[in-house]
Structure formats: structure tokens, C-alpha cells
Structure 1
Amino acid sequence: MTPRPDSLTVEVVDLIGTVVARYHEEYEHAAAEHSLTGTQARVLSLLAVGPQPMRKIANCLKCEPSNVTGIVDRLESRGLVERRPDPDDRRVKLAAATAEGARTAEALRTSLHFAREPLGKLTIAERTLLKELLQRMLGGTAE
């Protein structure tokens, strides 16, 4: 017989679900303001950090590399992304944000008020604890 989750666990899971749903809703809205889909915006945000091979992007999105090719094609046609040879392996192509792509990713990031405003109500100690707890939940270690 599977043990029944306690009510606190159920409440925490429900709250996490609500936070995730609200974040995704706002993220999709912010992406649309830049004429992007949520997935295109996510790829652009990943590439704004640095060039990535298509396979790594696919792993982050948990999708097939062929899907990433189409997404990168559309972003490239808008001048937000470019393909470059990997300096370590010329057989591999890296996708990289252009200067315009990096500006768009930054504008997208700064327009996400839902994620930023509630966190601003927490003290630095509370945000640090929340970060550490989330990292632990995901199996990582606190930095």
C-alpha cells in the first residue's frame, strides 16, 4: 500500500504548481510581445548566455534536435540567432544569439514581473534559503 502524502506536502505541491503555471502564462505573454513563441523565447534566452550546440539545446528543451533546427531557423530568419562552427569541432554547428537576439532576450527577461516582484518581497536570507531548497529538490547542491 502506497503511503498517503500528508496535507502539507499536498499544499506545497499545489503552490508550486500554481507558481509554475503563472510563470509560464506570463512567459508566454512576454514572448508574444516580442513576436516569439514561448519555446523560441526559451531558446533565445539559452543562447544569450552563450553559443550552444543544437543537441545541447534539444536536451535542455527535452525535445528532438530536428525540432531545435526549425526553431533556430525561424530565429535566424529574424536576425536573432546565427549559426557558427564550433572552434573545438568544425563538424559541429553552434547556435548563437546575435546582438539583436541578446537585446531581445534581455528585454524579455526584464519584462517578467511575476517572477521578480514576489521574490522582491522576500529578504535576501529568504531568497537564499528558497534557492537552496529548490536546488535540493532538483538533486543539486547549493552554490
Structure 2
Amino acid sequence: MTDPAGPEPGALMEPLALVVRAHHDDLTVVATRHGLSTAQARALVALNEPMPMRALADHLVCDASNATGLIARMETGGLVRRDPAPGDRRSKVASRTPAGTELALRIRAEMRTVHAALEALTPEERKALLPLLERLGQLLTR
């Protein structure tokens, strides 16, 4: 018999942790294959639009100096660039170069472990999962 109230939030933690861990491990393998750290790959994927360095550091959950170092190494490799922020020339905005955009798309496409698991879901399961993940993401980014 199923509980009409649904599972307690604590019962969802371990399955969610398994998904997050699989995503992280998959990203790490793909990033390493392309000569990037996991943090660099996360930054590259996050830059689908220009982002102030402070916002990028917040996204990566690191100090601004760490984000600056990550971006500087990727800038040297031609994957990103930093430009003065509009209205505040002391601040910088990071954005992907065309080569960085191509690599970010390749990284996502090569994350086969996660893709295979999602592909194993039925179309109905994926349809049901998407709004739940979107809602959870909204709640986590408040």
C-alpha cells in the first residue's frame, strides 16, 4: 500500500544523491578526456551567456580568486574570454569563445552514463520527470 502523502523528503535524499554523483562522475571523466578539470568543465557549460565573474564564482561555489584562476587557464586555451563589464570597467564578464561553445556542447553530448539512464526511461517517465526537476531547480536557486 502506498502512502497517499508520498515519501518523506529524507527518503528522496539517497536516490537524489546517486543521480548527482553519477552526473559528477560522468562530467569528471569527460572533462579529463578534454584536458579540463571538473570545475573548468562546469564553468564552461555554465557560460551559455556572458556572466559576471562574481556570479560565476557563486555558481561554482568558490572564491572569486578561484574562479579567476579557472577562467584565466581556459582563456589561455582559447575557450573563454573576459571583457570589462558594461557600466563597471573594474569588473569582468566571462563568456565562451566559439571553440569554448563547441567544447561545452561536446562535453554535454559525451556524458553517456547520464544520457543512457535518461534514455532508459520511457517517454512518459521523462515527460513526468522534467517539470519535477525544473521545480526542484527553481526551489534550489531562490
| TM-score range for the pair, normalised by the shorter chain length | 0.7 to 0.9
Deviation at 1:29, TM superposition (A): 0.4
Q: In structure 2, do the counterparts of structure 1 residues 137 and 95 end up closer, same or farther at CA, with 3 Å as the change threshold? A: closer
Q: Give the match's secondary structure for 1:35.
A: coil
Deviation at 1:56, TM superposition (A): 0.6
Q: Give the match's secondary structure for 1:95.
A: strand
Deviation at 1:7, TM superposition (A): 7.8
Distance between the aligned counterparts of 2:92 and 2:8, measured in 1?
48
Q: In structure 2, do the counterparts of structure 1 residues 9 and 54 end up closer, same or farther at CA, with 3 Å as the change threshold? A: closer
Deviation at 1:13, TM superposition (A): 2.3
1:55 corresponds in structure 2 to 54
Q: Give the match's secondary structure for 1:83.
A: strand
Q: In structure 2, do the counterparts of structure 1 residues 12 and 55 end up closer, same or farther at CA, with 3 Å as the change threshold? A: same
1:13 corresponds in structure 2 to 13
2:34 corresponds in structure 1 to 34
Distance between the aligned counterparts of 1:25 and 1:9, measured in 2?
24
Is 1:126 aligned to residue 139 of structure 2?
no
Show structure 1 runs of 5+ residues with no match. Answer: 1-5
Equivalent residues, number:
134
Deviation at 1:72, TM superposition (A): 0.6
**What is the TM-score with the length of structure 1 in the denominator?**
0.81
**What is the TM-score with the length of structure 2 in the denominator?**
0.82
Q: What do residues 14-67 of structure 1 show as CA deviations (whole Å, max 9, x unaligned)?
A: 2221121121111100000000000000111112x1111100101111111111
Distance between the aligned counterparts of 2:137 and 2:102, measured in 1?
30
